[in-house]
Each structure stands twice: as C-alpha cells, then as structure tokens.
Amino acid sequence: MHMQRIRVVKEALDANNTIARANRDDFDRSGVAVINLMSAPGAGKTTLLERTLARLEEWGTSTPAPRVGIIEGDVQGSLDSQRLAEFHVPVVQINTDAGFGGECHLDANMVRSAIPSLPLATIDLLVIENVGNLVCPAEFRVGEDHRVMITSVTEGEDKPLKYPLMFRACELVVINKIDLLPHLEVDLNRLLSNIDCVHPGVRCMLVSARTGEGLDTWCEWLWSRVRQQAILA
C-alpha cells in the first residue's frame, strides 16, 4: 500500500512537470522573465513586492522600467492582491482552497489556469508569490525561470537545516527584516553559514523591506533577470 502511494505521488509530479514546461514555453514566447517567490508565512514577500513596485514607479519617471505582472497565491482571500493592485500592475489571484482542495502550495496547473488572465504581451517580469510555506512549494515547478526564497531573521538561524529542500531549490536567498537584528538573539553569520552548508555558494542578499536597505541590490538583480530573458528571446 505504501509503494502504491509513492507511485501516485510520482505520477502527480510528472504531470506537474509537463504542465510547468507548457507554462514556461508560453512565458518564453512572450519574452517574460518569471520568478517563483517563496517563503514561510509572514517573511515579507508582499511587503518586498510593494517596495519593489514603488521603486519601479520612481525609476519609470526617468528611464524605461520593466513592466511587472503578479500572480498571487493564497489559501484564501485576496488581501495581498489588493495591496499590490494599488501599484497599477496586473495582479491575478489564485486561491488554493477553491477547486484545488486547500493546497499548501501552488502547482503548475493552478498557474496555468491564471495565464489567460495575464497580459503576457505587455509585461516583462512576472512574479509568482507562492503560498507561505517552507516545505511543499519547493517540490512543484510552476514554469518559472528563477526560484527565490525569503527567510526572515526573526525565524532564527536554524531554518536552512530544518527545511533544506527549500534552501537548495532556490538560486537566491533574500534575508529580510535585517533592521530587527539589534533586537534579536540571532547570529547572522551562523544563518549565512547554515545556508551555505545546505546550498554551497548560493547567493544571499541582506534586505530590510521596511527600511529599504538592500532594496537597490534586489531590484538590480530582478532587472538583470529581465535583461537576460530579453537577450535569450
């Protein structure tokens, strides 16, 4: 019985990869760079995106700035979508409790269902904000080019060792809420060393979405992904 269960999961993952590939082809045809943004609940995904979109509006007044679209994944509700729609970018909400059985992650099929609602021809960068969870989102490709995670310093130094798959699945680890470090008993060097232990050499970026520290570096990284996609297209 246990073997059968493993087989079913394997088939589900294979179907997911097939659909993820189809999503990726659609994004590639439109020249859209796609980021799958993951973290634990409350690590600051939406706040970082708010600051990113605000910075983009500033840049847009002087130079052409990338046009952003958002897919927002939540079990229930559309609070984050409402926050991001304030920035006049296209936002599509996926609720995983409606028709998907209350899933704790986005999968490729859910993202596929959102694609028709996205103006792919008029955006350069699509950010998919996953459901807040450090386990399952890392197991499901959704058609992204890049996987990024946020870990907040308030979560402690041990998270890479306890949720290694998530830290290994991502090419960039954004370490958020660094403005709180003076008020915590968290050893930043130990956190960095634990990340490097489970994913040697992975890029880490220190950010405070609240104060704006590190925001330029993060935005530059995003824009370079957009330029890379434009060259490949």
Does 146 interact with its own copies (rule: CB under 8 A)?
no
Does 177 interact with its own copies (rule: CB under 8 A)?
yes
Does 128 interact with its own copies (rule: CB under 8 A)?
no
Does 9 interact with its own copies (rule: CB under 8 A)?
yes
Given 183, 189, 200, 231, the residue binding its own copies (CB under 8 A): 183
Cβ nearer to its own copies, comparing 80 with 145: 80
Does 129 interact with its own copies (rule: CB under 8 A)?
no
Q: Between 190 and 229, how does the x/- string for binding to its own copies read (CB under 8 A)?
A: --------------------x-------------------
Rounded to whole angstroms, the Cα distance separating 186 from 157 reads 6
- Enclosing H/E stretch for 164: helix 164-169
Angle in degrees, 0-180, between the axes of helices 45-60 and 215-232, rounded to the nearest 10: 70
Rounded to whole angstroms, the Cα distance separating 127 from 110 reads 15
Pick out residues in 155-174 that bind its own copies (CB under 8 A). 155-156, 158-159, 161-165
Does 77 interact with its own copies (rule: CB under 8 A)?
yes
Count of residues interacting with its own copies (CB under 8 A): 41
Rounded to whole angstroms, the Cα distance separating 92 from 74 reads 11
| Cα distances (Å, whole numbers) of residue 123 to 109, 155, 180 | 21, 34, 35
Cβ nearer to its own copies, comparing 159 with 225: 159
| Buried residues in 213-233 as b, exposed as e (16+ CB within 10 A) | ebbeebbebbbebbeebeeee
Three-state secondary structure call for residue 146: strand
Does 3 interact with its own copies (rule: CB under 8 A)?
no
Does 119 interact with its own copies (rule: CB under 8 A)?
no
**Residue 74: beta bridge partners?**
95
Q: Which residues contact 121 (CB under 8 A, 6 or more apart)?
A: 30
- Which residues make up the interface to its own copies (CB under 8 A)? 5-6, 9, 40-42, 74-77, 79-80, 101-104, 131-136, 139, 152, 154-156, 158-159, 161-165, 177, 179-180, 183-185, 210
